[in-house]
């Protein structure tokens, strides 16, 4: 069985991507990065998802990108709320070079494991405009991996799997429902309350709601499920 190192954020996209790769026969090695994000509720969600998926190993690494700043997710900038439409302008929730940092960590672990496949829940259809979610970026990272690693120089071709890349949010939710995924385990909000309750107004909450509405499915986080306990933010 081939292994794949999957970036697991605790959101519905990475959960669905990991489940799809598992369905394809990959052995999962899941990686969650504490990068200084204000919404650390997602770390707990990632642990729950990794457990449910029976990841062969779930690794958590800490990289304090909040020391760099430049993003509403890692600093004191205000998280945008109630945006009526996603524009071409990159929002302040963009974390400088985040996916490059995270994929580099995944690449390092993959090389150590002897694995040549990486997985990410990147989406280029319904997303907030981040440059590191585009297919040309992922292709460029694969080329870099071939040049920057011993395995690559010795002939290993690293591949990034992004099975959600060209799906709408509705397609993603429908896919997850077909896979039997429990989206009640996930967390998407950029600015949750101190108890981990989604704000319902940030870009991520809006996109999540759009996906469930398009799929004709009720979001389990909105069905009055009991609070999973207090969480730090």
State pLDDT tens for residues 35-83. 998 777 899 999 999 999 999 999 999 999 999 999 999 988 899 898 7
Which residues are CB-neighbours of 144 under 8 A, at least 6 positions away? none
What pLDDT does residue 195 have? 80
What pLDDT does residue 229 have? 34
What pLDDT does residue 90 have? 86
Nearest Cα residue to 111 out of 137, 167, 71, 149: 149
Q: Is residue 198 scored above 70 in pLDDT?
A: yes
In DSSP notation, 43-83 reads HHHHHHHHHHTT-SEEEEEE--GGGT--STTTSSSPPPB--
Count CA within 13 A, CB hemisphere, residue 129: 12
Which DSSP state fits 122?
-
Q: Is the dihedral of CA 9, 180, 173, 28 positive or negative?
A: positive
If pLDDT is split at 50, 70 and 90, which confidence band does 197 have? confident
Q: CA 206 to CA 91: how far, in whole Å?
A: 14
Domain boundaries defined on the chain: 3-222
What pLDDT does residue 15 have? 98
Q: Is residue 218 scored above 90 in pLDDT?
A: yes
Report CA-CA distances (Å) from 97 to 100, 187, 219: 5, 22, 31
223 against 96, higher pLDDT: 96
Query: Residue 6's beta-bridge partner residues?
Result: 30, 119
Nearest Cα residue to 45 out of 186, 176, 195: 186
Domain 3-222 = CATH 3.40.50.620: yes
Q: Is residue 115 scored above 90 in pLDDT?
A: yes
Report CA-CA distances (Å) from 50 to 21, 31, 35, 231: 13, 9, 18, 19
225 against 60, higher pLDDT: 60
Tokens at residue 198, please?
């989604």
What pLDDT does residue 87 have? 61
């Amino acid at each position: 069985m081939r292994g794949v190192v999957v970036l697991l954020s605790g959101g519905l996209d990475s959960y669905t991507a990991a489940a799809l790769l598992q369905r394809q026969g990959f052995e999962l090695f899941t990686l969650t990065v504490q990068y200084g994000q204000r919404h650390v509720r997602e770390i707990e969600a990632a642990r729950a998802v990794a457990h449910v998926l029976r990841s062969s190993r779930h690794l958590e690494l800490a990289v304090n990108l909040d020391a760099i700043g430049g993003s509403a997710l890692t600093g004191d900038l205000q998280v945008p709320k109630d945006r009526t439409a996603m524009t071409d302008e990159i929002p302040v929730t963009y974390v400088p070079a985040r996916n490059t940092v995270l994929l580099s960590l995944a690449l390092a672990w993959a090389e150590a494991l002897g694995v040549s496949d990486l997985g990410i829940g990147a989406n280029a259809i319904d997303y907030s405009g981040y440059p590191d979610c585009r297919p040309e970026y992922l292709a460029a990272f694969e080329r870099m991996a071939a040049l920057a690693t011993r395995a690559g120089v010795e002939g290993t071709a690293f591949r990034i799997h992004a099975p959600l890349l060209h799906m709408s949010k509705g397609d993603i939710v429908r896919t997850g429902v077909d896979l039997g995924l429990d989206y009640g385990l996930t967390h998407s909000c950029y600015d949750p309350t101190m108890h981990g309750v989604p704000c319902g107004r940030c870009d991520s909450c809006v996109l999540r709601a759009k996906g469930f509405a398009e799929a004709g499915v009720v979001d389990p986080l909105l069905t009055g499920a009991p609070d999973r306990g207090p969480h730090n933010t």
